[in-house]
Amino acid sequence: MNSRTPIGWLIGVISAAIAIGVGELVAVYYRTAAAPVIAVGNGVIVLTPESWKRPAISSAGTDDKPLLILGILIALAIFGAAIGALAINNVWAGLAGVAVLGGFGVFCAVIAKGSRGTDVVPTIIGTLVSAAVLVLLVRLAENWPGTEPAHAANATDRRAFVLGAVATAAFAAVAGFGGRAAQHARFDISGKRRGIKLPTASGESANQPAADLGRSGKPWATPNGDFYRIDTALTVPQVDPDNWKLRIHGMVDREITLTYDELKARPMIDRWITLCCVSNPVGGPLVSNALFRGTLLADLMREAGLSPHADQLLLGSYDGYTFGAPAAVVMDGRDALLAIGMNGEPLPIEHGFPARTVVPGLYGYVSACKWIVDIEATTFAAEQAYWVQGGWAPAPTIELASRIDTPRNGANVQVGQSVAVAGVAWDQHVGVSRVEVQVEDGAWQRAVLAAVPSTDTWRQWYLPWTPDRSGTVTLRVRATDARGRPQVESNHSPFPAGATGLHHVTVEVADAS
């Protein structure tokens, strides 16, 4: 490393930052998903093998998207520094590096799910400006001390380089943050969402105050802000309800195109439905319960004239991802919804506004399509949905599961103290008939179950327990479904069709003082 290398690193990082900042500004005129870092992130998601994604999601959980963006920024800074080190000695080599980096960004923008032709424009313009800045800063740094014999012009040259570097770095920061803010201002549809009044639901009341035992510290109805979110969207799609359309096509007698106003005019029902993610581990948090308002998906498919030979409804999201729901399940009489409301308000943007599908009894990756814009009647043999392409089972049913929410793992309790052991169990569209708790290796004790409005929701349970000795104590839970089938006790990871095993927690019991 010669004395110019650190200057090259600085030039390269600033040039990379300029590419991001300019790209963010240009994306204001296209869409948020076209911004270079987001475009690269979406491309990386497509390029990453499923066997790599699973451990990443398992370890990072819902922080996977921020960590991916942070990783891209760090990688860009490292590559930028390497390009700058090349450019300080050979500007053409540096420009070649910029071209390679920009080409990768363009490639990612093209292959990203739901990409549009214009998505490459912010990256291309950002790359061109980055190249120009690289050349400018390299020329300003030509007479940096240690590179040429000292002469009187060095002080002026140093000042020019410092001013140029500071000015371009400041512009990169202003353009980046300003461009992101401008994108939010232009594309954000939260105002329109707030102005929407949901149509009235017809039919039976969905209110079930007796469903909440109030013992676990977690509500029976999950607030919208706490509802789990698992999807591939690095930026939440902002779908204008005025422009939204749902196309139903494929193996149907007649194609249907539905606008948001036409959807709202259809008969609506309210249904409590529990959703869970196939990647939820035993005892995990990726399961939630809410009151959804929508129209029956089966009615729409009957109107379209669904072919009896179609065994899959390929649900397409605005961001390009697909979900393959078994047609027979959607049409078997259960309350599979094309939903527009959640817990009494329009769907949150993060959960699919303006419309999504909700199918009780199926994991989210084969049923819960947020920001839905397309339904194609097809077959599993002809089309594979996104997650199935990665090896996940094409049409699994939800595994019977149970979870202890209180006491928490590692909690401290006292001998003789009454402890509420409580949680939830679920087996959507089948139902839960019994929940039992085991203390250490003792006999299984039957818990009290809350009333539920249907078999499509989770069920709260509660067992009072009074510890009679000190030490570490393990509590286990198991459930039995409405058909009398016990929960699978053997441990199995979520891939490829859902986790199995019994949830347990350990608590520390201390002698009463």
Taking only the tens place, the pLDDT of each residue in 361-377 is 999 999 999 999 999 99
| Contact predicate 232/321, CB 8 Å | yes
Q: Which domain holds residue 285?
A: 209-389
CATH code of the domain covering residue 470: 2.60.40.650
Looking at the fold, whether 111 and 244 belong to one and the same domain comes out as no
pLDDT above 70 for 89: yes
Structure tokens at 190: 């939260």
What pairing do the DSSP bridges indicate for beta strands 312-317 and 372-378? Answer: antiparallel
416 & 267 share domain: no
DSSP 369: -
Per-residue pLDDT at 267 exceeds 50:
yes
Together in a domain, 316 and 287: yes
| pLDDT tens by residue, 324-364 | 999 999 999 999 999 999 999 999 999 999 999 999 999 99
Q: Are strands 245-250 and 256-259 parallel, antiparallel or unpaired?
A: antiparallel
Q: How many domains does the chain have?
A: 3
> pLDDT > 90: what percent of the chain?
80
What percent of the chain shows pLDDT beyond 70?
94
Residues 234 and 334 in one domain: yes
User: Rounded CA gap, 78 and 91, in Å?
Assistant: 18
pLDDT at 153: 52
124 part of a folded domain: yes
| Residue 458, φ and ψ in degrees, nearest 5 | -70, 170
Q: Collect all residues with Cβ–Cβ distance below 8 Å to 128 and sequence separation of at least 6.
A: none
My answer on whether 162 and 307 are in the same domain is no
Give domain status of residue 216, yes or no. yes
Q: So what's the pLDDT on residue 205?
A: 58
Compute the Cα dihedral for 393, 396, 398, 399 and give only its sign: negative
Tens of pLDDT, residue by residue over 290-307, are 999 999 999 999 999 999
Is there a domain that residue 200 lies in?
A: no
> Which segment of 69-83, 162-176, 206-220 scores lowest on mean pLDDT?
206-220
Co-location of 382 and 411 in the same domain: no
In a domain, 198, yes or no: no
pLDDT, residue 79, reads 95
Per-residue H/E/C for 209-275: HHHCCCCCCCCCCCCHHHCCCCCCCCCCCCCCCCCCEEEEEECECCCEEEEHHHHHCCCCEEEEEEE
Residue 59: inside a domain, yes or no? Answer: yes
Q: Does a cis peptide bond (omega within 30 degrees of 0) precede residue 354? A: yes
- Last-in-domain residue among 330, 364, 389: 389
Q: How far apart are CA 379 and CA 377, in angstroms?
A: 7
Mean pLDDT over 82-90 rounds to 93
Is residue 163 in a domain?
yes
SS3 78: helix
**Are 375 and 423 members of one domain?**
no
What is the distance between the alpha carbons of residues 395 and 323, in angstroms, rounded to a whole number?
10
pLDDT in tens, 215-253: 888 899 999 999 999 888 888 999 999 999 999 999 999
Over range 452-461, report the average pLDDT.
Answer: 95
CA distance linking residue 478 with residue 287, whole number of Å: 17
Q: Give the model's pLDDT for residue 141.
A: 87
pLDDT confidence bin for 275, thresholds 50/70/90: very high
417 and 468, same domain (yes or no): yes
Q: Provide the pLDDT for residue 3.
A: 66
- Cα separation, 317 vs 302, in Å, equals 21
Residue 123 lies in a domain: yes
Tens-digit pLDDT profile for residues 4-23: 788 999 999 999 999 999 99
CATH code of the domain containing 267? 3.90.420.10
Residue 199 covered by a domain:
no
User: Would the pLDDT of 34 be above 80?
Assistant: yes
Q: Which helix (H) or strand (E) holds 103?
A: helix 91-111
481 and 503 belong to one structural domain: yes
Are residues 430 and 498 both part of a single domain?
yes
pLDDT at site 149: 46
User: 389, 411, 439: which is the final residue of a domain?
Assistant: 389
CA distance 404 to 504: 7
CA proximity to 447, closest of 410, 406, 478, 471: 478
Same-domain status, 60 and 159 = yes
Q: What is the pLDDT of residue 512?
A: 77
**Same domain as 433, residue 340:** no
